[in-house]
Amino acid sequence: MSLVGAGPGDPELLTLKAYKRLQQADVILYDRLVSTEIRQLIAPQAEQFYVGKARSFHSVPQNEINEALVGWAHKGKRVVRLKGGDPFIFGRGGEELETLLDAAINVEVVPGITAASGCSAYAGIPLTHRDHAQSVRFVTGHLKSADAELDWDSLSRPGQTLVFYMGLGSIDFIRQSLINHGMPEEMPLALIEQGTTRRQRVYIGSLSAPPTALTDGIVQPPTLLIVGSVVSLHGRLDWFSPATGLATGFEPGEASLPLRKPPES
């Protein structure tokens, strides 16, 4: 049993170990943000099941995913749980690993390039830089209310880069919270939509003046939010041309095989 990170989309960012597991698998349960080009690397004998999640919608509840992983593994199948990015960075990999170990299943974790490093690199935004940021923080953007328990005082301090995953729906709350806790209003921010793919778009603004594409409702998930002075380097370091990308990107509502439980003995 393998928990495998697929990276942010570009199939050439897949690790060699991840590729080997895709070639060896009998059953693969994959998430929404696994590009078509990566799925094309899966061996033809493997059964593939979609268990993706989008904001406010989960195609399959997490407990059913856990049960299916355990069930297929107990059938003696070589199972891969394929996740966009890295399994242990906002990917529920820790929860699934706990379930599998509790069920006495042999399991390994194959790390992947997480969206923060992949998308920022392809946008020409270094997450750390001696003149700008001496640390970087990955933060969940799934903030359900103003009572979200984030340390905004700490997040608003200088000398760091903030990367918010899944933050598009909470961006106004994030911006205002940072300003309210002392971050300069002119602090630059970047929205990276479908990073590392042909659909990559990078929108630049600031805490007080977000990109017009955001206010016009053009930006769509999956989008990563980066806040920090490193964003100011984008104009000079932007090296990637989306037209040359190897991944077509992610289509909403793409038809996929639904999950089914392993057959009874």
Which residues form the catalytic set?
Answer: 31, 53
Burial class (CB in 10 A: 0-12, 13-18, 19+), 71: middle
Number of Cβ atoms within 10 Å of the Cβ of 246: 15
Q: Is the dihedral of CA 48, 34, 18, 4 positive or negative?
A: negative
